[in-house]
Amino acid sequence: MSVVETAQGQLKGVVCEKNGAKYIAFKGIPYAKPPVGNLRFKAPEPPDPWEGVRDATEHGPVCPQYNERMERIDPGNEDCLYLNVFTRAVSPPRPLPVMVWIHGGAFYTGSGNSDFYGPEFFMAHDVILVTFNYRLEILGFLCLDNEEVPGNAGLKDQAAALKWVKRNISAFGGDSNNITIFGCSAGAASTSYHLVSKMSEGLFHKAICQSGVCLNEWAYNFYGKQRAFQLGKHLGKDTNDPAELLEFLRSVPALSLVNIQLPPLELKYLDIADSIIFGPVIEKSDLKVEKFLTEPPQDIVKRGQIANVPVILGYTSGEGIEIARKLSGILGFMSMVGAVVPREIKLKMTPEKLKAVDELIRQRYFNGEEVTMKLIQKVSNLESDKLFMYNIRRFARYHVKHTSSPAYLYKFTAETERNYLKKYYKLDSLEGVCHADELPYLFNVTNIEIPLTDESRGIVQTFVQLWTNFASTGRPTTDGQWKPFTETEQNYYVIGKTQTCVLNENQENMKFWDDIYEEIECVCTTDCSST
C-alpha cells in the first residue's frame, strides 16, 4: 500500500506488477466537482476535499457513451471527472518527467481507463503517466452560445485536469515543471487546442499530437447552437428558447444524450467534417464567463498565438482508411460538387471557384474518374492528405515560424500483428497504417486480443523510448538522428520496423494543397461566404 497527500486529501494506491513492469497505480482521483444537476453542461468546478484516506485502487466511472471499440453502450456516470496516476516510485531520487494522456474518440467515445491505455510500456521508463476522463458528446460539447452553456465543457474539463496535475503531481514523485501533454486523434486535436488556448497557459511544457491538430476541419464545429435546438426537437422539445431548451436537457436522463444520430443540417455545402455532431466550438467572445476558444483555430495559429514549447506532430501512413471504411455509405456525398474540397476553404468560395477547385482535386487524386468502390485506395489517399496530413504539417510550419521551440514531425509506418484496426475493418488490401493503429505500440491493450511478439516488442520499445526521451529532454533521440522540422529543412522521422529521417515527405501533394490554400487566401474578398 502507498499513501500520498494531495491538496484535497490523502490517497491510497496499489502496487501493480504486470508484463514485467512494477509500479504504483492511483486511480479514480476526482479532479473536479461532479458535473451533475445544475452543473450539467457547465464548466468544471474545483474538486471538494475529503477526510481520511481515500481508496484510489479502482478507476472512476467513465462518461456515459457509446463505446465504439467494444460496440456497446457504457452507461458510466455523469460523475466521471476522474484521473489516474501511474508511477514507479512516489519518492524517486529526483522528480520524474510527467506525461499526461488525452484520449481520443471523436469527442464522443473513450476514457482514460487502463483496459485500453494500460501504462506498462511507459512504466519501463523513468516517467509518470497520467490518464483521465472528460465529458463527451452532448454532456461535454453542448453549446447554446450563452453564459449558461457557452460550449467546450469537455475541453475545460481537460484544462481542469491539467491544473490538478500541475498542483499535485509532486506528491507522486513528479516534476511539476516538466509536464508533457499528448494524445491521438480527437485527443491530439485537444492537445493542440491547449497549445493555443489562454486557459491552458503555463500548465505544460511539451506536447505531442498524434494524427490530429486543431486546424483539421473535423476538430471544430461551426453549428453548435443549431445542433442543440435540433437535438431538443429530436428528443421531443421543439422550442426556440435557450432557457427552455436548457431546462429540458437538464431533465433528460444521461443515457438519452448518448450516441445521438441527427440528420444533416440544411447548409449551403455539406461536409464530411460536420458528421462530428458535438465537438469543440468557437465561443462567443462577449460572454462574461471564462472562455476556452473564441476564434477559429486557423486565425489563432496564423497570428502566432501558440505556446512556445517543443512539439512532436505526426501521422500514420494510411490515415484515410478511417474515412475509406465508410465509403459505401458516402458514395452519394462524394459525387457532390465540393465534397473533396476542405471545409475551411469551401466556405470562402464562389460556386464557380468551388467547381473549378473540386475538378482540380478530383483530377489529381482520381484522374477525373467518378468515385466508386473501385477507387477506395484513392479515396484513402485523398483523405489522408486532406483531413489529416496537410494541416498537421501546416500547424508545424506556423509553430516554427512563430515560436523559438523545435517541432519534430513523424510518419508511423510499422505494420505487425499489433495493427488491429485495419484487420478489424477488413481493409487489409489498403496501403498504410490505419488511423489510431499506432496506439497498441504505446499502451498495453487488454480489452481486445492484440498479440505481442518479439518483432512488435522491439517497435514498442523504440516508440515509447522516443516519447519518453522527448518528455525528459525535449529531444526524441539522444543522438540527434531525428532532426527538427524547419521551413527550409522539412525533416520527417519515419517510425517503422527501422527508423530513418527523411526530407520533404509527400512533398508534391503537400505543394498541391499549399497552392490551393494560398490561392483561396489571396482571392477571398468581402463578398465571399462567411463562416
Q: Known catalytic residues?
A: 185, 319, 435
Inter-residue contact 109 to 136 (CB < 8 Å): yes
Cell (9 digits) for 451 = 498479440
Residues facing residue 409 across a β-bridge: 313, 492
Amino acid identity at 156: K
Helix axes 507-523, 351-366, angle to 10 degrees: 180
Q: Which of 425, 418, 459, 403 is nearest to 320 (CA)?
A: 425
Cell (9 digits) for 135 = 465529458
- Please, is 188 exposed, middle or buried when counting C-beta atoms within 10 Å of its C-beta (0-12, 13-18, 19+)? buried
Distance of CA 285 to the CA centre of its chain: 24
With vertex at residue 391, the alpha carbon angle to CA 389 and CA 392, rounded to the nearest 5 degrees, is: 65
Distance of CA 471 to the CA centre of its chain: 18
Inter-residue contact 466 to 459 (CB < 8 Å): no
Looking at the chain, the number of H-run helices and the number of E-run strands are: 15, 15
Q: Which of 397, 194, 226, 200 is nearest to 297 (CA)?
A: 194
SS3 call for 490? coil
- Distance in Å from the first CA to the final CA of the chain: 55
Contacts of 360 (CB under 8 A, 6+ apart): 516
β 53-55/65-67 pair status = unpaired
C-alpha gyration radius of the chain: 22
Fill in the DSSP letter of residue 384: I
Q: Which of 393, 389, 445 is nearest to 421 (CA)?
A: 445
Per DSSP, the residues of 56-72 read -SSPPPPPSEEETTTTE
Cell (9 digits) for 342 = 476542405
- Determine the length of the chain: 531
Fill in the DSSP letter of residue 526: T
Question: How far is residue 442's CA from residue 210's CA, in Å, rounded to a whole number?
Answer: 11
Inter-residue contact 271 to 217 (CB < 8 Å): yes
Q: Which of 167, 85, 91 is nearest to 128 (CA)?
A: 85
SS3 call for 270? coil
Inter-residue contact 90 to 172 (CB < 8 Å): yes
Tell me which residue has cell 469543440: 280
Tell me which residue has cell 473535423: 218
Cell (9 digits) for 354 = 468551388
